[in-house]
Structure 1
Amino acid sequence: MPIRRRSLLAGSAALPIFAAHTATAQSAVNITIAASHPVQNFWIHIMKNVFQPEVDKFLRDNGNTHRVNWREAYGGTLYRFQDTMEAVRDNITDIGYVGTLWEGSTMPLQNVTYFTPFSTGDHALVANTFEQMNETVPAIRQNWSSLKIIPVSSYITDTYHIWSNFPIRTLDDLRNRKLAAPGTSAGWLSGTGATPVDGALTTYYTDIQTGVIEGALSFYVGILPTRVYEVAKYVTECDIGAMYVGGIGINSDRFARWPEVVRRAMVASGKAATAAHIRDVSDRVASAKAEMIQKGAVVTTLPAAERERWIRGLPNLAKTWADSSGPASREVLSTYFNAIRAAGQTPGRNWDRELTS
């Protein structure tokens, strides 16, 4: 009996020592993660609910020697959507969603999809292609590097269509109509007779309701939360294309200071975030379309001949982009379209083959 008591006492004494050893063996790394949009946004949802947990899991599964003390600043508490690149570059945040779609002048090569409409509506293909291009195209790698940003995931939109308060049966129905087509997407309406009007998802509902516009170019996942289908019940599917919009970026100076296992966790979790994002968008498109129809939206498809007419009537948008984006734009365009064709798809227009020296 005394022997058993001594054993128990010895075990009890050992517990605090073991607990203390475990606590000191795992060091915390303080990391700020932020975004200009709230977590409810489908891009940011992936950061919070996939990327962060994947990082934590990777560290637990690979030695459990480090953990991240996340400092979250979602919802624009640190910066606005126009400043996503600067926020990561200048280390306002260690990690953030970098919206390349707002960086036409500083990141022109990453905006190739916006100047090549009707190339592919396959958002998974676009995301996976940019996963490769961010790593393998020297000019794109250099651009990210010069901005002190390491891209670890790729975000996209699902393919664009038209939401309007009037039915669209032929391309002629767009003539003299005012459609929201912000930024680069304004060029997609060239030759249609429609008037592009600048705006944002947050303004479409009111702008249509008050007559400022009569519809908008948009995509299912983005437009569902705005309830635009209530004032523009006609959804004309025309598959203008899925777009690359950036992704999760990490400040390269901060990245270099982190322990090696933390760096590996970030890269691996970024890839997991891209894969989850692709699945999430696919699910959201199906559910968004179903919800809109259930609430009264009328969904039709633009006839193939009319879509082809639209495509052929567009000016050479890709050449305009290439001429202003430097010599590397040719390689980017070629790489992007080679990936589309390698996937067995036929672009609606071979923009890469229309360039002239």
Structure 2
Amino acid sequence: MSKSLGILAAGALAVGLLATAAVPASADKFNFRMASGHAPATGYVRMMSEQFAPRVKAKLAAMGHKATFNEAYGGSIVKVAETLEGVKDGIVDLGGYCFCFEPSNLFVHTYPLWMPFDAQNAVLGTKVARTVYNKIPHMNGVFEKKYNQKLLGLFGFDNYGLYTTFPWTDVKELKGRKLSGAGPNLPWVEAVGAIPVGTTLPDVYPSLQTGVYEGVLLFPSVGWSHKLFEPAPHYKIAGFGSKTFHGITINLDTWKKLPADVQKAMLEAGQETEDFTGPWVDELEATNLGRMVMAGAIVTRVTPEARLAWAKTLAGFPNMRAKEADKKGLPGSTVVRMAVDVAEKLGHKWPVRYEIK
């Protein structure tokens, strides 16, 4: 008999969702609980709901099975920094999350944030990340060995820029300003003398609005979906890079209960969604930049001189982080060196080429 592997319906009560997890169902019906701490409008959450789930349903339907997804986003079941644990403990069957909020558990998986000014589009960013994950066993294996889950696919994001409440042209103007980010990317602003302030996405709008900080490192997709250009109307296209450090995982106990054909279908759906994400993100980035301008945002591009000056301040940062990972017994230098080389072979030109010693 197959298993019901339920997923949260948006708006359903948490108690009811948890009570219906993993109960027997019909021989060909699978019910998954899928959740994320981020809001439904967030790009990778949309990919979970609009691409991954429908692909799984279609593949299972073609095999005579039926899949349903009970979905819960916006932190209604798991918060942004709790999703890994939520999947590990079986609170949900499937979880999507940013590895950036797991700096201790998934330290080396945040490596794109150690490499500012890398891939300038999501197509390239996901290709580089897929090569790294396929060639370095730790990148996929740690999810199963330590966290009772299996990685099904990665999600690319659009190119990082800087939203600020004030205009600026020269990086020297950022000195002493309170600027925020996800945590691992705070050294980007610290390097130019800014005061780094950690944050999570749900806190960004009110924090900018109330002056907790004066700017935040984020992307056009989030800036549009969360209206960040309202409290911070100045968006600088800085080219920090399109980072691939989000993913969707499935609880390993749930996974082991699935028939082989269902497992295969879910892996295919994960990879297909990953492949879809790059072009979709790149198109959406251009669209959202236009939307922000139409809504009153002041969008400008960092000058080549300012970008080079910023890159020079971070020239040793990737090597420093890689060595820090090495000391933890993680393949930090191997990962960063490979990512630098692969990006270059695929056509990326580094403003300052990072050397991993």
Give TM-score, length-normalised by structure 1: 0.85
Change in Cα spacing, 1:229 to 1:93, as seen in structure 2 (3 Å) is: same
Partner of 2:85: 86
* Cα distance, 1:112 vs structure 2: 0.5
CA deviation map 1:152-199 (0-9, x unaligned): 111132111122232222122212222223411210013312222223
Give yes or no for contact 1:197–1:213 (8 Å, CA) kept in 2. Answer: yes
What fraction of aligned residue pairs are identical, expressed as a percent? 23
User: 2: distance between equivalents of 1:25 and 1:191?
Assistant: 57
User: 2: distance between equivalents of 1:214 and 1:71?
Assistant: 38
Q: Which runs of 5 or more structure 1 residues have no equivalent in the other structure?
A: 1-23
Mapping of 1:94-105 within 5 angstroms? Answer: 94-105=93-104
User: 2: distance between equivalents of 1:80 and 1:165?
Assistant: 27
State the AA in 2 paired with 1:156. G
Partner of 1:134: 133
User: 1: distance between equivalents of 2:231 and 2:58?
Assistant: 44
* Cα distance, 1:241 vs structure 2: 1.3
Change in Cα spacing, 1:309 to 1:38, as seen in structure 2 (3 Å) is: closer
Partner of 1:158: 158
State the AA in 1 paired with 2:289. K
Give TM-score, length-normalised by structure 2: 0.85
| 1:238 and 2:241 matched | no
Change in Cα spacing, 1:332 to 1:296, as seen in structure 2 (3 Å) is: same
Partner of 1:329: 332
Change in Cα spacing, 1:339 to 1:206, as seen in structure 2 (3 Å) is: same
Partner of 1:269: 269
Please give the secondary structure, in 1, of the residue aligned with 2:153.
coil
State the AA in 2 paired with 1:322. A
Give yes or no for contact 2:36–2:75 (8 Å, CA) kept in 1. Answer: yes
Partner of 2:349: 346
| 1:290 and 2:298 matched | no
State the AA in 2 paired with 1:89. K
Give yes or no for contact 1:179–1:215 (8 Å, CA) kept in 2. Answer: yes
Give yes or no for contact 1:35–1:76 (8 Å, CA) kept in 2. Answer: yes
Give yes or no for contact 1:79–1:87 (8 Å, CA) kept in 2. Answer: yes
Partner of 2:320: 320
Change in Cα spacing, 1:273 to 1:193, as seen in structure 2 (3 Å) is: same
User: 2: distance between equivalents of 1:71 and 1:296?
Assistant: 37
Change in Cα spacing, 1:143 to 1:349, as seen in structure 2 (3 Å) is: farther
Partner of 2:21: none
Mapping of 1:174-253 within 5 angstroms? Answer: 174-253=174-253
User: 2: distance between equivalents of 1:179 and 1:25?
Assistant: 53
User: 1: distance between equivalents of 2:92 and 2:208?
Assistant: 37
Change in Cα spacing, 1:148 to 1:299, as seen in structure 2 (3 Å) is: same
Give yes or no for contact 1:88–1:98 (8 Å, CA) kept in 2. Answer: no
Please give the secondary structure, in 2, of the residue aligned with 1:167.
coil
Partner of 2:38: 37
User: 1: distance between equivalents of 2:74 and 2:215?
Assistant: 27
Bigger radius of gyration among the two: 1
State the AA in 2 paired with 1:125. L
State the AA in 1 paired with 2:241. G
| 1:55 and 2:47 matched | no
Please give the secondary structure, in 2, of the residue aligned with 1:227.
coil
* Cα distance, 1:288 vs structure 2: 1.3
